[in-house]
C-alpha cells in the first residue's frame, strides 16, 4: 500500500512539473511574440516618421526652387544653363539624412501638345518638327500621326498611319482615344507605337505642358536644335551650342542671326530664350524613410505656381550613395 502511495505521489509531482514547464514555455513564447510585435511596431512607426520627415524636406527644397526661380525672373531677361536655378544640388547632409535636387527647364524640349494649334487644327510646322525629331532618333515617323489622332478632336484616322477609336477598340482591354491635349507623358503608353524603347528614346527631348509653348534655344539639347530646320546639320548645331556656353543668347533675334543659321530663309517654327515651365526633382532619405517629389512649376507675372506635384520612387544614384555611406 505504501509503495502504491509513493508511486502515485511521484506521478503527481511529474505531472505538476510538466504542467509548470508548459506554463513557463507558453509564457516565454507569449513574451517573445509580444516583444517581437513591439519591435515591429516601433520600427514601423519610425519608418513612418522618417518618411514624413523626408517629405517635409522635399517640400522645403521645392520652396527653395520657387524662390530661386522668382529671383531669377527679376534679375535676368532670359534663361540659360549657367544660372543658379540650373545648378544641380548634390546630395547634402541634413539632420538624419541626405537631400538631392534638380531643376529642369521643360521648355528646352518639344511640347507634344503643340501638335494641335489654338484653332484646334493640326499645326503643320510642329508636325514637321516632330517628324524630323523622330527621324533623328531613329523612330518611325508614323508616331506623329498616331499621336495627332490621339489628341485631336475628331475621330477620323489620319492617312496613312493614323489610329483612332476603331483601332483601340480592338485592343484587350478596349479603350478610346482621348481626343484632347495630353495631361501627362505617361499617356503616351496608350498610344499606338509608343512602346518602351520609343518612350526611353524620346524622354530627354519631349515634354507635356498645358497650352502652346516655345522651345528655349538656351536650354535645348543638340537633337532638339537640330530638328528646328531640315537644312541644319550637326556641325552648325555644335557651333550654336559652343557660342551659347559663355552667356547664352539674350534674344531669339540674336540666335536667329547667328552665322551658323545664315543661308536659311527662316526657322520652321518660333523659338524663345525665356521659359515659363520648370520641373523640380527632389530626392530625400532620412533614416529608413525615403521621398522623391516631382513638381511642375509655372513661372509667370512674377509668381511661381505649382501646377502639380507627385511622389515617385527615389533615384537609384542617390540610393546607391546612401548605401555606400
Domain 112-203 homologous superfamily, CATH? EpsJ-like (1.10.40.60)
Check whether 238 has a pLDDT greater than 70.
Answer: yes
Bridge partners (DSSP) of residue 271 are 215
Check whether 308 has a pLDDT greater than 70.
Answer: yes
Half-sphere exposure of 319 (CA within 13 A, CB side): 9
The tens digit of pLDDT for each residue in 87-105 reads 888 888 888 889 999 999 9
Check whether 2 has a pLDDT greater than 60.
Answer: no
Q: Where are the domains of the chain?
A: 48-107+276-324, 112-203, 220-269
**Percent of the chain clearing pLDDT 70 (strictly above):** 82
Pick the CATH number of 48-107+276-324 from 3.40.50.1000, 3.40.710.10, 1.10.1740.10, 3.30.1300.30: 3.30.1300.30
131 touches 268 (CB < 8 A):
no
Check whether 271 has a pLDDT greater than 90.
Answer: yes
Alpha helices, H only, the chain: 2-75, 124-136, 142-151, 165-168, 196-202, 222-226, 234-244, 252-256, 316-324
70 touches 305 (CB < 8 A):
no
107 grid coordinates: 521648355
Q: What is the pLDDT of residue 291?
A: 87
The tens digit of pLDDT for each residue in 63-84 reads 999 999 999 999 999 999 999 9
Amino acid at each position: 500500500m505504501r509503495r502504491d502511495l509513493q508511486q502515485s505521489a511521484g506521478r503527481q509531482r511529474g505531472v505538476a512539473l510538466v504542467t509548470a514547464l508548459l506554463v513557463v514555455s507558453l509564457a516565454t513564447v507569449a513574451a517573445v511574440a509580444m516583444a517581437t510585435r513591439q519591435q515591429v511596431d516601433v520600427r514601423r512607426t519610425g519608418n513612418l516618421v522618417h518618411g514624413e520627415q523626408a517629405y517635409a524636406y522635399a517640400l522645403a527644397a521645392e520652396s527653395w526652387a520657387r524662390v530661386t526661380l522668382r529671383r531669377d525672373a527679376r534679375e535676368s531677361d532670359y534663361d540659360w544653363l549657367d544660372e543658379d536655378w540650373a545648378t544641380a544640388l548634390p546630395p547634402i547632409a541634413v539632420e538624419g539624412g541626405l537631400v538631392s535636387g534638380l531643376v529642369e527647364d521643360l521648355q528646352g524640349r518639344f511640347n507634344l501638345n503643340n501638335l494641335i494649334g489654338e484653332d484646334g487644327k493640326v499645326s503643320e510646322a510642329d508636325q514637321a518638327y516632330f517628324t524630323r525629331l523622330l527621324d533623328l532618333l531613329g523612330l518611325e515617323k508614323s508616331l506623329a500621326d498616331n499621336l495627332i489622332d490621339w489628341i485631336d478632336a475628331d475621330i477620323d484616322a489620319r492617312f496613312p498611319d493614323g489610329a483612332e477609336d476603331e483601332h483601340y477598340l480592338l485592343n484587350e482591354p478596349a479603350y478610346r482615344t482621348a481626343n484632347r491635349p495630353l495631361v501627362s507623358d505617361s499617356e503616351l503608353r496608350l498610344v499606338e507605337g509608343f512602346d518602351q524603347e520609343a518612350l526611353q528614346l524620346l524622354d530627354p527631348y519631349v515634354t507635356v505642358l498645358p497650352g502652346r509653348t516655345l522651345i528655349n534655344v538656351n536650354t535645348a539639347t543638340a537633337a532638339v536644335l537640330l530638328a528646328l530646320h531640315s537644312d541644319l546639320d550637326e556641325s552648325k548645331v555644335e557651333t550654336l551650342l559652343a557660342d551659347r556656353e559663355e552667356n547664352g543668347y539674350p534674344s531669339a533675334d540674336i540666335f536667329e542671326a547667328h552665322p551658323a543659321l545664315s543661308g536659311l530663309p527662316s526657322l520652321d517654327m518660333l523659338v524663345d530664350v525665356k521659359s515659363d515651365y520648370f520641373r523640380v526633382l527632389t530626392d530625400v532619405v532620412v533614416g529608413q524613410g525615403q521621398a522623391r517629389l516631382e513638381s511642375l512649376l509655372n513661372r509667370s507675372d512674377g509668381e511661381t505656381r505649382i501646377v502639380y506635384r507627385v511622389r515617385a520612387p527615389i533615384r537609384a544614384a542617390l540610393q546607391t550613395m546612401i548605401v555606400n555611406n
